[in-house]
Amino acid sequence: MGDRLAIRELGLVYGARRGDVKALEGLSLRVGAREFVSVLGPSGCGKSTLLSIASGLLAPTRGEVHVDGTPVQGPRPDVGIVFQQPTLLPWKSVLDNILVPIAATRRTTAQDEERARALIRLVRLDGFERHYPHELSGGMQQRVGIARGFMHDPALMLMDEPFAALDAMTREHMMDELQRLWMDSARSVLFITHSIPEAVYLSDRVLVMSPRPGRVVEEVQVDLPRPRNIDTLGSPGFIDICNRLRRQFQEKHA
């Protein structure tokens, strides 16, 4: 126990026209309290499906999902989601977009707004509170999406390749910001990505998924000191872990 997220022997079968498709099979993983875990896998290995199940939006064919010890049986507000695309409401300002998780179920208060403003400062968007998404760059929009994910202080954050749509420069910058946000909020994160350096830089543990049907085939502990920074990217320890993961990838998927 003590796990924020525990997934055991998860299986998901899609009924497709040409017979059933096994998206996931025998997938088990756990994310501890305050732990940052990345799931690394090739495209089409069911990573996004895994997130849908973990957030309670999709029921698995087999297996169990527990958040904080209670089984997931439907959508749970204590789980935050960040998507690949910023997916903001174009007709709402930055501030109102970040307030969405609160406004969805009740009236927002001055305190909520205070918290939203603090999050805006954390993702370095001060001064843009009243701007609309179309007035921001892609990177800034994604920062709004991430801040929104943290707004209602969910026990568990699920992130589906949130930096995939960003250019390389912005991406490194964002990795830094996410680390800061995570260290500040002390939440658990399950982070989906297909970038090895991204996974290693951010995570306490990196899980490697197999191609379809997806399951966890490898687990690598990342013991690099925090907070990590630009220097981490060039450190022997970092490069060593990246290389190890890369080799495993090649063996598994050759």
Partner 1 sequence: MKDRLLSIALGLSSLTVLLVLWHVAVVGLEVPSYLLPKPADVGVAMWSGYVVQGTYWKHLGTTVYEMVVGYAIGCSVAFVVGAMVAEWRLLERLVMPYVVALQSMPKVALAPLLIVWFGFGVASKVVLVALICFFPVFINCFYGFRSANPDLLRLYRSLRASRLHVFLHLKLPSAAGPVFAGLQIAVVLALIGAVVGEFVSSKQGLGYLIQSSTLSFDVATMFAAILSLSLIGILASTLVRMLHSRLVFWERRDGAAPAPLSEGA
Question: Contact residues for partner 1 (CB under 8 A)?
Answer: 52, 55-57, 75-77, 79, 81, 83, 85, 87, 89-91, 100-101, 103-105, 124, 132-140, 152, 169-170, 173
- Residue 164 CA to residue 180 CA, distance in Å, equals 19
Residue number, 135 or 240, with CB nearest to partner 1:
135
Position 196, amino acid: I
Write down the least CB distance from residue 104 to partner 1, Å.
Answer: 4
Q: Name beta bridge partners: 27.
A: 10
Nearer to partner 1 (CB atom), residue 174 or residue 245? 174
Give the DSSP H or E segment for 66.
strand 62-67
Rounded to a whole number of angstroms, the minimum distance from the CB of residue 139 to partner 1 is 5
Q: How far is the CB of 103 from partner 1 (least distance, A)?
A: 8
Query: Minimum distance from CB of 252 to partner 1 (Å)?
Result: 30
* Nearest to partner 1 of 79, 245 (CB atom): 79
Helix, strand counts (H, E) of the chain: 9, 10
Nearer to partner 1, 69 or 138 (CB): 138
Q: Closest approach of Cβ 215 to partner 1, in Å?
A: 24
Buried b (16+ CB within 10 A) or exposed e, 204-236: bbbbbbbebbbbbebebebeeeeebeeebeeee
Q: Which is nearer to partner 1, 79 or 200 (CB)?
A: 79
Comparison of 60 and 101: residue with beta carbon closer to partner 1: 101
Distance CA(91)–CA(4), nearest Å, equals 35
Give min distance, CB of 179 to partner 1, in A: 18
Q: Rounded to 5 degrees, what are φ and ψ at 106?
A: -155, 175
C-beta of residue 122 within 8 angstroms of C-beta of residue 181: yes
